[in-house]
Chains A and B, each alone.
Chain A
Amino acid sequence: MPEYTLKVRRYQPESGQPAYWQEFKVDLDPDLSVLDGLLQVRDRQDGSLVVRCSCRAAICGSCGTKINGQSTLACKTQIGEAHERANRRSAAGIAGSDGGESAIVVEPMANMPVVKDLVTDMESTHWAKIRRVTPWLIPEGDPPEREYVVPPESMIDVTQSVSCIQCGACVSSCLSMEADPEFIGPAALAKAYRFVGDPRDAQTRQRLYDLAQDPHGIYDCTHCFSCIDACPKDVAPMDQIMRLRRIATRDHGITDINNGHRHEAAFTKIIQKKGTLDESLLLQESYAQGIAGKLKPSMGAIAGLVGSIPTAVRGVRTGKMRSLTKLIPGVHKKLPGDAQEHVQRVYEHAEEHREELNLYIAGEEEIAPEPDEEEAATPEAEVEPEPDEVGER
């Protein structure tokens, strides 16, 4: 049986010592999980190593951890694959990896306080956020005598967010939450979509309004895709957040005080026009739309623009905005050849197919796509591809 090394982040609060790393050798088949490895440590070497776990089958959501830097479920991560990943990270010299030793690095989830070893305090973070979205169905009036009659696809549509097992992997991976700990976050917003997408709920507009106006709400997400990568149940929390935004603006006309909606609209418009992001236009377009907005900016727009200066300066100083000339209007480079037309076509396609259902029923075609296509299809969700092309995520 192959031998693997688990390098585990330990923290024993009663010891008075800070957290430390400890390595354990385990023997098990490569198709068993990292959780199986941890349980072997607990059973044979050190019973004081703690990790929440129950089902071992990615159903209960207990064993959220970070493995080789990736937030995931320990039970769902095969130890052989984790080992290979550890090797690749070592080879690439990634900080925190083990520089040639190829130990599998196991840590508690991020964005939450650690209680002991791999156990985090989910109550004060994850669950407190879940409770912020009023997480129960609020129908209008008394229930009918029989069931509510609703379109069958609406129930299938919310099944993707209903599949969430509250493991916290997305919360752990969320980069926005790292910057803003108050961000409601991917899990709670996916939960919110579960009610917004449910035709039985009577508070759709109020829910969306609250989530849009909240400075830590739907516009706090930065589209980084980390939560989609981390989610062990293919809930794709970011997609749910984007759905919330679309329904809030297109169906309910909600314009938020955080300028999130206008910022997004500006982003979309600039890329549609220029193919890539012309940063010189982004701020002005976000705050003062169109020629009218620029000729006669509102007080809010001026305040917003002025307020953004420190961020812009920081962007330049930290190298995020690499060239100052980019701020000069008109300097922005055009896309080569007919690339701009391709971008245009993506927009047209998205407009035509905007009635998006969730990904997993979108992948219902009978002809099996090639495996490569399936892999490639996932990120395209962002541009709302035709259902047939989505594959089976």
Chain B
Amino acid sequence: MPSGERAKHDVLVIGAGLAGQRAALAAAEEGVSVGIISKVHPVRSHSNAAQGGINAALQEGDSWESHAFDTVKGSDYLGDQDAIEIMCREAPEEILHLEHLGVTFHRNEEGRLGTRAFGGASQARTYYVADITGQAIMHVLYEQLMKHSALVARYEEYFTTGLVLDDDGNCAGAVVRNVADGEMELFEAKSVIVATGGNGQVWQPTTNALICTGDGIAMAYRVGAPLMDMEMIQYHPTTLAKKGFLITEGARGEGAHLLNAGGDRFMENYAPNKMELASRDVVCRAEQTEINEGRGYPDGTVALDITVVPRKRIHEALREIVLVGRDFAGVDITREPIRIKPGNHYTMGGVKTDVNGATSIPGLYAAGEVACVSVHGGNRLGANSLLDTLIFGRRAGKDGAKRAKQINTGAPSRAALSDAEGEVVELVGRERDGRRVSELRRELGEAMDRHVAVFRDREGIEQALEIVKRLQEEFPKAHIDDRGAVFNQDVLGAIELGFMLDCAECTCVAALHRTESRGAQFRTDFGERNDDEWLKHIDLTRDTEGPEITYSPVTITQWQPAERTY
């Protein structure tokens, strides 16, 4: 591709899942030129995996305040309430917008939008398309990108290696590698929106796709943007034992039970009111306790019994899970329970942004799982992630476009491009006497899942951090095989490992530092929530010696912290 004109846009979106596509469409509506880059084809993005649905207080009798309160409580009071209010207020309009674009949301008997129940919610307010909600919405947004191809340039299978600032410290573009031919180039933009998703691949196993390697989190961190709530890593209560695949919370929303090996519906002992539909952190700890105390199955699992849901309903509403059970566990979920356990699932923390997605670096925005607004705080409610991507994707797209119309950014230095090219040349030509990149990656994943998971303590986190630091030292010597330019996935894998190591270090540092238990951070050595000391966010900014720790207050509008029971 000839560099120059084509690689210059007012707004450049990096990542083309729901947040990125929504941001690109919103920016295009403002009449600016937009480019959207994705390291995979947009419809391969991980938003596909969001099965259960999307929350909105749209029905009569429901209110955005109720949705917001559930979210605040779900977050264990670490979510910023101003941001949560915006998200919950704007949710109904967003759902209707999607419906008008063509999303085939489930209807009730009157032909109007119908809902299902979901965890941590006081009302059934989850809108859905069978159990492929994320996929259904994302494919509709991609239809819109195809429709508006004159307004939004798509760069499909372009891998971003780093963000670039101008001399005044504005984010002014990115260095990008065309996967198809290995050409590196400098994309220029007045606003850059990072929407690259979470970093689940730091853990093994995980429900996350192989592409979820924390690229945007690390890239923003490397140019000086603070990260927030990095210790808050969600484990999902129902993942398949071996591979970590997701079984939607929608299954429990439809009435499925959790049973221990003795056949007891153990949630009675942990959340007698909400039972299986308590918040995810609560259900995960319950399961893990059953397993740890010997009431699980020998393979470290408990059972999810979906057979209590009527067959017709399963086929209509849990189609994907029927296939997942059949293809990946050899289980017909309509006839027998399926073995599950808690598994790594979601990055609540990320690049710290305001309610318009703006980071502290002028011109740099973040939206979706990569970002931390923070609407999820210590624990995200099911079906709030799709909402987060769409609301804050739209807001970032709009604000990024507004900024692009107002300002002139200086040209980013081309030195960033030649540096990045030099790094790839060095990587490709490296001696093969060290370990493979893939070996480091595996060691990282196993260490994080062992030590920084559902239950944590100082000793474990320190061990994980030590391993991360050792891997960081070893990383510059790790080698790859592929020396070509065309579709070199080896090069991309090495760059991704670098991103993952940065993310892992930040998570360990923050988890070690927060000496309390809140949401997904459960410290067995500090078992209680401690509002006096810890009702605050941990912010991490890159320093020469690693992340520098500062704090920011939690924004409280109308809900004072209270004891959290389900």
Contact = CB atoms under 8 A, between A and B. Distances in A.
Interface stretch (A91-99, A238-246, A320-328, A361-369): A361-369
Contacts of B107: 150-152, 155
Given A47-B490, A361-B316, A364-B312, A136 B143 contact: yes
Contact of A14 (B110, B334, B486): B486
B477 interface: no
Contacts of A55: 44, 46, 48-49, 209-210
B129 interface: yes
Nearest to A164: B139
B49 A166 contact: no
A57 B484 CA distance: 29
Interface stretch (B98-106, B218-226, B265-273, B362-370): B98-106
A76 interface: yes
Interface in A14-64: 14, 31-32, 42-44, 46-48, 50, 52-62
Interface string B473-494: 0000000111111111110010
Given A137-B102, A364-B316, A12 B311 contact: no
Contact of B323 (A50, A52, A159, A234): A234
A366 B481 CA distance: 54
A252 interface: no
Contact of A165 (B48, B242, B324): B48
Interface string A169-182: 00000000000000
B211 interface: yes
Interface string A199-234: 010000000000000000000000000000000011
A135 B101 CA distance: 12
Nearest to A155: B104
A316 B548 CA distance: 81
A150 B99 CA distance: 11
A127 B46 CA distance: 20
Given A43-B436, A50-B489, A366-B312, A159 B484 contact: no
Given A48-B481, A360-B319, A365-B312, 13 more contacts: A32-B243, A48-B484, A50-B482, A53-B210, A54-B46, A57-B246, A60-B43, A76-B327, A116-B487, A117-B487, A136-B144, A148-B99, A149-B111
A364 B311 contact: yes
Contacts of B135: 59, 163, 165
B406 interface: no
Contacts of B156: 123
Interface in B23-49: 40-41, 43-46, 48-49
Contacts of B323: 58, 233-234
Interface stretch (A139-147, A295-303, A344-352): A139-147
B177 to A, nearest CB: 15
B132 A392 contact: no
Contacts of B111: 149-152
Nearest to B489: A50
A155 B105 contact: yes
Q: Which 10 A-B pairs have the closest CB atoms?
A: A137-B102, A47-B481, A48-B482, A43-B438, A152-B107, A143-B100, A364-B312, A136-B143, A47-B490, A54-B209
Most chain A C-beta atoms within 10 Å of own C-beta, residue among B242, B323, B489: B489
Contacts of A381: none
Given A54-B211, A76-B327, A115 B490 contact: no
Q: How large is the interface on B (under 10, 10 to 19, 20 to 34, 35 or more residues)?
A: 35 or more
A117 B490 CA distance: 14
Contact of A47 (B108, B242, B482): B482
Contacts of A117: 487
B146 A54 contact: no
Contact of B110 (A62, A136, A149): A149
Contacts of B315: 360-361, 363-364, 392
Contact of A166 (B43, B311, B330): B43
A366 B102 contact: no
B308 interface: no
Interface in B305-321: 310-312, 315-316, 319-320
B335 interface: yes
Nearest to B327: A76
B311 A366 contact: yes
Given A47-B436, A47-B481, A158-B104, A56 B487 contact: no
Contacts of A236: none
A368 B209 contact: no
A384 interface: no
A122 interface: yes
A100 interface: no
A70 to B, nearest CB: 15
Contacts of B437: 47
B104 A62 contact: no
B324 A115 contact: no
B499 interface: no
Contacts of A334: none
Interface in B113-142: 113-114, 129-130, 132, 135-136, 139-140
Nearest to B134: A59
B180 interface: yes
B143 A56 contact: no
